[in-house]
């Protein structure tokens, strides 16, 4: 077994692989994945140069691959990272891989299935069990009921969508996207599990005819990839700090670099900005606060404003 060649090392330049801000979201939300980026090179036992790259996988996941540097062929799977992991983890995996020749010998060939699956996803049977455990109807804080329903979209054609009805409402419900349903409930689960279970259970359509799942599947994937996340956990942390008199909204805003000055030049924190970001006050022109915040803003407020890890304010 040969030793690593001198050039064998994980590339440390930030320009090669954009590292995602890690808000610690479970299905967090991650920035767009790179089409391909070099992580490092090494020489194999035959003296040929090989390289480790990162490539976008299915539903926001990331493939870390080993391939021949000259032909760009002979791809081997080093790791398949789920969408909730920051891209910095790909660098860690590559560094460990390049330092361990034995691990390289155990690396299997890349298959077509690898590019079409979600790593560590629950099997359909487990999803169905989880769906039955939660039940089919979810109730939000306003008393509205949310269910997955068949919605007509044409003559003899239907699609599966989330629908909401107010308490006691009869007739058709209001059609919502997966993101809107999650926003009403201010939590990802069990909406994500119920949606995934429905997609798995109706993969080939149902017995009543054609049932389109394309829109529902695309909505779930967008939520999984999106850098926009729920702010409920962050809001609770901010309010806990303020009510505990450990700090103030103004001081938190100052720590985040959001300041304003009065006519006399006195500085204070832009507490209205903070209130909008954490869902206490509505945005301009809106009647209700938003339940969403960008991961970078979440990380800024958590780290700089509260001195917390973003993982401590994430929402499941």
Asked whether residue 110 falls in the same domain as residue 129, the answer is no
> How many CA atoms are closer than 13 Å to the CA of 263, on its beta-carbon side?
0
Q: How much is the average pLDDT of 101-121?
A: 71
Query: Within this chain, do residues 109 and 134 fall inside the same structural domain, yes or no?
Result: no
pLDDT cut 70: percent of the chain above it = 77
Mean of the pLDDT values across residues 247-276?
A: 94
- Please tell me which of 113-127, 159-173, 268-282 the model is most confident about, judged by mean pLDDT: 268-282
Spell 79-92 as b/e; 16+ CB within 10 A means b. Answer: bbbbbbbbbebbbe
pLDDT at residue 117, as a whole number: 66
Do residues 221 and 235 both lie within one domain?
no
Residue 14, in any domain of the structure: yes
Q: Is residue 32 part of a domain?
A: yes
Average pLDDT, the chain: 79
Is the per-residue pLDDT at 143 higher than 60?
A: yes
Position 131 confidence tier, pLDDT thresholds 50, 70, 90: low
35 Cα distance to chain centroid: 18
Question: Looking at the structure, do residues 159 and 201 belong to the same domain, yes or no?
Answer: yes
Highest-pLDDT range among 13-27, 111-125, 127-141, 241-255? 241-255
pLDDT at 256: 96
Region 111-126: mean pLDDT is 63
238 falls within a domain: yes
User: How many domains, in total, are found in the chain?
Assistant: 3
* 258 and 239 belong to one structural domain: yes
Q: What residues make up the domain containing 35? A: 9-116
- State the DSSP string of the chain: -PPPPTTBEE---TTTSPPPP----TT---PPPPS-EEEEEEE-TTS-EEEEEEEE-GGG-EEEEEEETTT----EEEEEE-TTS-THHHHHHHHHHHH-HHHHHTPPBP-GGGGGS-TTPPPHHHHHHHHHHH-S-EE-TTS-EEEEEEEEEETTEEEEEEEEE-TT--SPPEEE-HHHHHHHHTS-TTHHHHHHHHHHHTTT-BTTB-EE-HHHHHHHHHHHH-SEEE-HHHHHHHHHHHHTTS--HHHHHHHTT-EEE-TT--EEE-HHHHHHHTTSSPPTT-SS--SEEEHHHHHHIIIIII---GGGG---
pLDDT tens profile 71-93: 888 889 888 887 667 777 888 88
Whole-angstrom Cα distance, residue 111 to residue 202? 25
């Amino acid at each position: 077994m040969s030793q690593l060649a001198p050039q064998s090392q994980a590339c440390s330049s930030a320009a090669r692989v954009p590292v995602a801000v890690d808000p610690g979201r479970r299905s967090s939300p991650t920035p767009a994945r790179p089409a391909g980026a070099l992580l490092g090179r090494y020489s194999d036992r035959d003296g040929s140069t090989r390289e480790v790259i990162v490539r976008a996988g299915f539903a926001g996941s990331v493939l870390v691959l080993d391939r021949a540097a000259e032909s760009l062929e002979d791809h081997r799977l080093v790791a398949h990272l789920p969408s909730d992991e920051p891209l910095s983890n790909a660098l860690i995996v590559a560094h460990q891989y390049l330092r361990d020749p034995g691990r390289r010998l155990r690396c299997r060939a890349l298959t077509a299935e690898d590019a079409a699956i979600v790593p560590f996803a629950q099997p359909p049977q487990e999803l169905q069990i989880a769906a039955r455990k939660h039940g089919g109807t979810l109730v939000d804080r306003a008393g509205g009921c949310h269910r997955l329903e068949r919605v007509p979209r044409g003559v003899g054609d239907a699609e599966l969508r989330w629908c909401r009805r107010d308490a006691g409402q009869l007739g058709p419900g209001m059609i919502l996207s997966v993101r809107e349903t999650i926003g009403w409930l201010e939590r990802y689960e069990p909406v994500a599990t119920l949606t995934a279970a429905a997609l798995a259970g109706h993969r080939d359509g149902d017995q009543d005819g054609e049932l389109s799942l394309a829109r529902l599947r695309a909505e779930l994937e967008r939520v999984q990839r999106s850098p926009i996340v729920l702010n409920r956990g962050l809001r609770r942390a901010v309010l806990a700090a303020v009510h505990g008199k450990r700090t103030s909204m103004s001081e938190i805003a100052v720590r985040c670099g959001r300041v304003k000055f009065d006519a006399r030049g006195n500085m204070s924190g832009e507490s209205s900005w903070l209130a909008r970001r954490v869902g206490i006050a509505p945005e301009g022109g809106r009647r209700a606060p938003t339940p969403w915040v960008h991961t970078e803003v979440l990380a800024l407020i958590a780290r700089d404003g509260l001195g917390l890890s973003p993982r401590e304010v994430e929402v499941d």
